[in-house]
């Protein structure tokens, strides 16, 4: 689907105000976290309300890893307040809630929405991403939790029709989250490039995202406005890529690292990719991509070119050096946790990976991911 992209420069929001006027939005359900209060765009929303241009019905009744019940409450608020559009401002959780509110709005409220067939609707959904990592504003995927179990929802109709890039939203992002969210976008782009589901379109988006990250990393870490703007675009392009291909082994292996050790998602994914990538280069004979081992070798060399490297292993090493340069902690595991890690891997995502990874290989990779701090722990 075609999206309208609005780029905010120098905190000038008049183009967004004009869009609300042109499209006749009067009562917008604003799905946002409490952190919106410190953003410049929040002042713009308040000013619009003071001028009587539009009313924002704020909905913040959700947490990270949002629950099904939060979506149900959001639907009730949308209907009771006679809203005519949904605007998500935030990271992945706000996007997931907003997407599910849109998808479920016209469904039978007397039954569990998750058990019903999704029927596309034309309810407007707009998005202002406040992190440069998830790319959720570009994908058809959403995740919510029902009775403590993760539920994946997917439909092309939940991709926002308007995306607003406002670099000022990144100015207050803490240092660790700044690093981790960039790594999330980086991993999305890399995994999509080598996915068995890759297409010319997805690889084009992956290449663009990787180049934008490499070229703007320093200015982004310096909190420069242009660097922030470019990283928002990079995350979006990486999101467009995984919207086509979905993620692979890096994400399949990273989730338990996040829950066990409290690592941010992008941090955990990058630790996994840094070990999976060289292993795959050395084991192309285990290829499960239908295009064959020959294609796989060409693809890895092509990916090396995107990294401005002369060969595939050099590119993998460059990525590893970038991750290590960020001075992020590495987890160590107790013996019983290693077994838990191995058993946690999402096998569906492994099917998207171009190289076969069996249980023994997964354990080997986890041992490499946690190896450094295992040794450090012994020293202390």
Model confidence at 274: pLDDT above 90: yes
Residue 264 and residue 341 in one domain: yes
- Please give the pLDDT value at position 380: 36
Model confidence at 131: pLDDT above 90: yes
> Please, which pLDDT band fits residue 349 given cuts at 50, 70 and 90?
confident
Residue 155 and residue 267 in one domain: no
Are 320 and 274 a contacting pair, CB within 8 Å?
A: yes
Model confidence at 375: pLDDT above 60: no
Residue 66 and residue 93 in one domain: yes
Residue 166 and residue 207 in one domain: no
Model confidence at 96: pLDDT above 90: yes
CATH number, residue 142: 3.40.50.1970
CATH number, residue 221: 1.20.1090.10
Residue 305 and residue 357 in one domain: yes
Residue 144 and residue 207 in one domain: no
Model confidence at 98: pLDDT above 80: yes
Residue 352 and residue 238 in one domain: yes
- Please give the pLDDT value at position 242: 97
d(CA 185, CA 26): 34
State percent of the chain over pLDDT 70. Answer: 97
Strand blocks (E) in 37-124: 55-59, 85-90
Map 240-256 to HEC letters: HHHHHHCCCHHHHHHHH
* Residue 67 lies in domain: 4-170
Residues 6+ apart with CB under 8 A from 262: none
Residue 56 and residue 93 in one domain: yes
Model confidence at 374: pLDDT above 60: no
Number of domains in the chain: 2
- Please give the pLDDT value at position 1: 56
Residue 149 and residue 16 in one domain: yes
Q: What is the mean pLDDT of the chain?
A: 93
Residue 183 and residue 114 in one domain: no
Among 314, 351, 170, 333, residue whose Cα is nearest residue 256: 333
Model confidence at 172: pLDDT above 50: yes
- Please give the pLDDT value at position 365: 94
Model confidence at 379: pLDDT above 60: no
Final residue of a structural domain among 132, 150, 170? 170
Name the 3-class secondary structure at 335: helix
**What single DSSP character describes residue 67?**
B
Q: What is the pLDDT of residues 205-234, one digit of tens each?
A: 999 999 999 999 999 999 999 999 999 999
Q: Which two tokens stand for residue 107?
A: 């469904």
- Please give the pLDDT value at position 206: 98
Q: Beginning with the edge strand found earlier in the chain, give each strand of the sheet holding 162-165 in spatial order.
A: 4-7, 162-165, 125-129, 85-90, 27-32, 55-59
- Please give the pLDDT value at position 97: 97
d(CA 276, CA 281): 9
Final residue of a structural domain among 151, 170, 189? 170
> Please, which pLDDT band fits residue 33 given cuts at 50, 70 and 90?
very high
Residue 79 and residue 199 in one domain: no
Model confidence at 87: pLDDT above 90: yes
Q: What is the pLDDT of residues 277-316, one digit of tens each?
A: 999 999 999 999 999 999 999 999 999 999 999 999 999 9
Residue 96 and residue 140 in one domain: yes
Partners of 6 in the β-ladder = 164
- Please give the pLDDT value at position 330: 81
Final residue of a structural domain among 170, 194, 228? 170
Q: What is the pLDDT of residues 57-78, one digit of tens each?
A: 999 999 988 999 999 999 999 9
- Please give the pLDDT value at position 333: 75
Biggest CA-to-CA distance, the chain: 65
């Amino acid at each position: 689907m075609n999206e309208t992209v609005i780029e905010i420069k120098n905190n000038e929001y008049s183009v967004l105000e004009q869009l609300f006027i042109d499209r006749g939005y009067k009562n917008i359900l604003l799905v946002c976290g409490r952190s919106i209060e410190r953003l410049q765009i929040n002042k713009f929303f308040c000013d619009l309300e003071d001028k009587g241009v539009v009313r924002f019905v704020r909905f913040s009744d959700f947490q990270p890893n949002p629950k099904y019940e939060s979506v149900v409450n959001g639907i009730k608020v949308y209907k009771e307040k006679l809203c005519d559009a949904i605007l998500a401002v935030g990271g992945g959780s706000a996007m997931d809630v907003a997407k599910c509110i849109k998808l479920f709005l016209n469904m039978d409220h007397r039954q569990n929405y998750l058990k019903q067939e999704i029927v596309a609707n034309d309810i407007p959904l707009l998005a202002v991403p406040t992190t440069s990592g998830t790319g959720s504003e570009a994908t058809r995927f959403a995740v919510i939790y029902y009775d403590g179990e993760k539920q994946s929802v997917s439909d092309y109709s939940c991709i926002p029709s308007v995306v607003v890039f406002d670099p000022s939203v990144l100015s207050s992002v803490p240092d660790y989250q700044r690093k981790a969210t960039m790594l999330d976008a980086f991993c999305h782009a890399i995994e999509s490039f080598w996915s068995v589901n890759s297409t010319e379109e997805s690889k084009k988006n992956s290449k663009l995202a990787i180049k934008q990250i490499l070229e703007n990393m320093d200015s982004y870490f310096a909190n420069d406005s242009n660097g922030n703007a470019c990283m928002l675009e990079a995350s979006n392009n990486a999101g467009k890529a995984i919207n086509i291909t979905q993620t692979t082994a890096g994400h399949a292996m990273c989730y338990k690292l996040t829950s066990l050790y409290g690592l941010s998602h992008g941090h955990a994914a990058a630790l996994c990719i840094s070990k999976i990538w060289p292993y795959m280069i050395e084991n192309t004979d285990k290829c499960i991509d239908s295009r064959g081992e020959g294609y796989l070798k060409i693809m890895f060399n092509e990916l090396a070119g995107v990294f401005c490297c002369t060969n595939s292993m050099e590119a993998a090493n460059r990525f590893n050096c970038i991750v290590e340069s960020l001075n992020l902690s590495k987890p160590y595991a107790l013996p019983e946790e290693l077994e838990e890690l191995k058993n946690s891997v999402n096998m569906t995502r492994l099917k998207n990976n171009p190289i076969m990874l069996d249980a023994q290989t997964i354990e080997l990779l986890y041992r490499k991911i946690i190896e450094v701090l295992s040794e450090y722990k012994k020293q202390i």
